Structure 1
Amino acid sequence: MILLFLGQFGALVGMSQRVLDLSPFTHIPKLPGGDASASPLVWLLTLTAALVVIGLAAFRRRDYIV
């Protein structure tokens, strides 16, 4: 929800670029017409993989209450 707000209304309400950069959608190249670079996509993929591993580890440690 917050990322949707940042992407759609962040520039309209005058948020700084540093705040707008919190959204992952600002790092993906604007195609067609923009320069395609693999670096932002690799960083996003690495961050996603790390969060999935952390989530799965937390899921394994959950407490079963029956």
Structure 2
Amino acid sequence: MDELNEFYRKWYAPNNATFVISGNFDKASLLKSLDQKFSSIPARKVPEQAVVPDIDLTKVKG
């Protein structure tokens, strides 16, 4: 449980969130509602994403 709490505290921040919305909706109304519900949550620093190097497939044996 400690590990899960640490992960949550490290990565779950409103400035690190993504919304995926589909269907028939009024864009202006939706943006207003999202702003009202979520803009009061303060942003906070999240760690930098790890840089994963590209793999040179010509050097892979298999």
TM-score (norm 2): 0.29
* Rg comparison, structure with higher value: 2
TM-score (norm 1): 0.28
- Could you say which structure has the greater relative contact order, defined with CA pairs below 8 angstroms and 6 or more residues apart? 2
